[in-house]
Chains A and B, each alone.
Chain A
């Protein structure tokens, strides 16, 4: 850098131009299901239902409400709306309480469950309630007491059609659905395509918000830290370069930003700022000692470079640990996160030396007393006071807080991945409140061996499966071909009906090769795990006990309720691994395993504290929570690295343990307080996110970092001094 400044400057400008020009190419992904994709049985079964029965990924629910919905006029408006929807471009199927009908086996007459003509003075509520007693579709899609009805449509935004639910076409489609409605009907929408569209909108707006707030914070913090314009600008430049490089590299490589990775550019920016400040202070100190600017740059790089590279490695290791989460979304987060960390490191190591080379002379004298200087002596006094007692207290605190690690529950809340006040979130809450949820759950049952699917015995097995499924989820939420049979058709008539039925209707009941039946139920997306487990395992076991073999249960609520805890559990193991690896990296790099081991307790305490707090408040651990803890650990261990780095350098300079720790804390504590506040301020934008999961992520990162700062300044020095005394390495 210092040898070939023009070459690197040209390279820097070219890369910045390329990256900034590529930003409009950024891709955003609202697929909130992709964390569930993997190789588990439930997920494979989920995909098999999509392939063998029908692709339900484009299903949308319309919640229709009106005060007079179950009065004659309102009811006919609802029927008119159904008819209008059936003619709308892009609508591939419409199901409402009017859809169901009964066929007279003797005459072949088709009688709708809800009569086509309703006489004046008819009590429609009573009529619908009576129809619902015999007809599961009417029961599922009507709520007379809530003046509400649900219309289920098949939109074109399905995986089978290959039409991605991007925000613009989904909004246009929903506008079309609204315009088709007769006046007086209040409409709300729920379903996966809308969730994805809203999630993409939120990720895009978040990215803009986080970037703007992050950049503003970088300037404010740099200005407050240095209380001078030139150093503030010099230190802001690497952070801004980092965000440009991260966003540009994502755009150029075609990586998708999703709700898990949306905060990465901000994290890279703040990481770069913190490292830049450390490097700048080192350079300024040497300049104050009278060293020429160019030599001061090289000396500062030699002093801080190893620590910065080590902190980057440990943070990257923390991100890399997500790869053990076992699914593509988390592996992608691992790659994108690690890349962002190294990009931030490179930005610091390239941009600040270059700027100091060209503009350092103007800034060399502008260094005030660090704002947080009093924290150094304070931390030093505490460490020297009673190191053994403080270490014991830290160990006891860690042990006490460990209970949270074992008592906390795990649950995935899809509502947290949806923007607050979004149409999708409102629809989902409404669907859960009025209809008990509209997310489909499927039970697949193979046609018993040696039987045809229309055989009475096979149908009886299906009816039993439906009954068992209904017992677990509610009788009015379950339907299958067995109900069609109950409606009056014999096997031959059902076979004839299925032969003529379009795939999207046939696929609701029987697989394309007629080898498996489908029983469909509905539930909330955030289904209670206990009920999900009951449905998935107990129903299958009960059927097996009755000799009905091969049933499997799947669907988003099942995947979320069963698979997510497994993924969270796996991520928590990854976090422990990241902690061990982080400490291991410090041990190897510093060649001081005892000192590195001292970092375990102070850096476990923040993680365990957060787990205990969540557990105490009855909040379950979700994917964003454990990701936040891992990221926060990756950053907090940096504090320990800087303390250890300075302490060992002072030992090498011939100081004894006490003096080395005192000097180290006076040197690094103000910078650590400053860097932590930078992280906090830089991450503050996440608290303004419309995505609850991003707010949770930001809040947990901030809380963990604050606790980690206290732990690394209060406990780490005492632990180092105590362990070195115990191990006989004290100087």
Chain B
């Protein structure tokens, strides 16, 4: 030990700083890599063909309507991105969806249902919380700005859940706007 200590050259201040910096970067990089690996694992779990059914409100003022969806999700491991194509419909109409969620470091961005459920939303942010993808956004409707959040559970037993909630300022509670359960085909 002592020999080692003696043989090891003492870093100059500038070098000490560099080493610390490089260690910090390395630590951060390792953390980011781990986060990226987690995100990649999470996103890749959605890969496959899914059919979903549930209910969704066309806007916060309305009662829920039945909704059906089908999704084909492909995971691009190079870009660490999940690409969804499909269609969601109610008896009032249907929309094609082109969703994309991408991971960069420990940050993820994008939209799982490609704007189908979150049309006209602004300030959208995504994060992974407890293995779920959580999206927070704002929605302007009928002259009011509504807070909106969406939970996307990790696939388990070939099923996952998408739940959207909006914040009701009157009751100061989060109210479920829609919930769709997806099952693998």
Contact = CB atoms under 8 A, between A and B. Distances in A.
Given A110-B59, A111-B63, A86 B94 contact: yes
A112 B142 contact: no
Contact-residue size bin, chain B (C-beta under 8 Å from the other chain): 20 to 34
A107 B89 CA distance: 24
Nearest to A83: B68
Interface residues of A, number: 23
A82 B142 CA distance: 29
Interface stretch (A93-101, A194-202, A209-217, A682-690): A93-101
Nearest to B144: A108
Nearest to A82: B91
Contacts of A108: 59, 61-62, 141-142
Interface in A97-124: 98-99, 101, 104, 107-112, 116-117
A228 interface: no
B125 interface: no
Contact of B68 (A87, A111, A505): A87
Nearest to B67: A83
A84 interface: yes
A79 interface: yes
A619 to B, nearest CB: 45
B89 A83 contact: yes
Nearest to B64: A116
B63 A94 contact: no
B90 interface: yes
Interface string A429-454: 00000000000000000000000000
B87 to A, nearest CB: 5
A87 B70 CA distance: 7
B68 A110 contact: no
Nearest to B93: A505
Contacts of A104: 61
Which of A94, A110, A111 has the largest number of chain B CB atoms within 10 A?
A: A110
B170 to A, nearest CB: 13
B63 A116 contact: yes
A87 B92 contact: no
B interface secondary structure, majority: strand
A83 B91 contact: yes
B70 A110 contact: no
Contacts of B91: 79, 82-83, 86, 94, 96, 98-99, 112
Nearest to A91: B94
Interface string A547-578: 00000000000000000000000000000000
B69 interface: yes
A116 B94 contact: no
B30 interface: no
Nearest to A103: B62
Contacts of B61: 104, 107-110
A509 to B, nearest CB: 14
Nearest to B119: A500
Given A87-B87, A107-B61, A107-B142, A112 B70 contact: no
A94 B94 contact: yes
A86 B141 contact: no
B65 interface: yes
Contact of B66 (A79, A93, A94, A99): A79
Nearest to B58: A110
B93 to A, nearest CB: 7
A112 B64 contact: no
B182 to A, nearest CB: 13
Contacts of A82: 91
Contacts of A98: 91-92
Contacts of B58: 110
Nearest to B65: A116
B140 to A, nearest CB: 12
A84 B94 CA distance: 11
A273 to B, nearest CB: 59
A82 B63 CA distance: 19
A84 B59 CA distance: 23
Contacts of B92: 98-99, 101, 110, 112
Which of A101, A502, A505 has the largest number of chain B CB atoms within 10 A?
A: A101
B62 A111 contact: yes
Interface in B53-108: 53, 55, 58-59, 61-70, 86-94
A670 to B, nearest CB: 72
A110 B87 contact: no
Contacts of B87: 86-87
Contacts of B66: 79, 83, 116
A623 to B, nearest CB: 40
Interface string B30-70: 00000000000000000000000101001101111111111
B60 to A, nearest CB: 9
Contacts of A83: 53, 66-68, 89-91
A112 B141 contact: no
Interface in A156-195: none
Given A86-B94, A94-B89, 12 more contacts: A82-B91, A83-B66, A83-B68, A87-B68, A93-B93, A96-B91, A99-B93, A101-B92, A110-B58, A110-B62, A116-B65, A116-B66
Interface of A: 79, 82-84, 86-87, 93-94, 96, 98-99, 101, 104, 107-112, 116-117, 502, 505
19 contacts: A82-B91, A83-B53, A83-B91, A84-B68, A86-B90, A86-B93, A87-B68, A87-B88, A94-B89, A96-B91, A99-B92, A99-B93, A101-B92, A104-B61, A109-B59, A109-B63, A110-B58, A112-B65, A112-B91
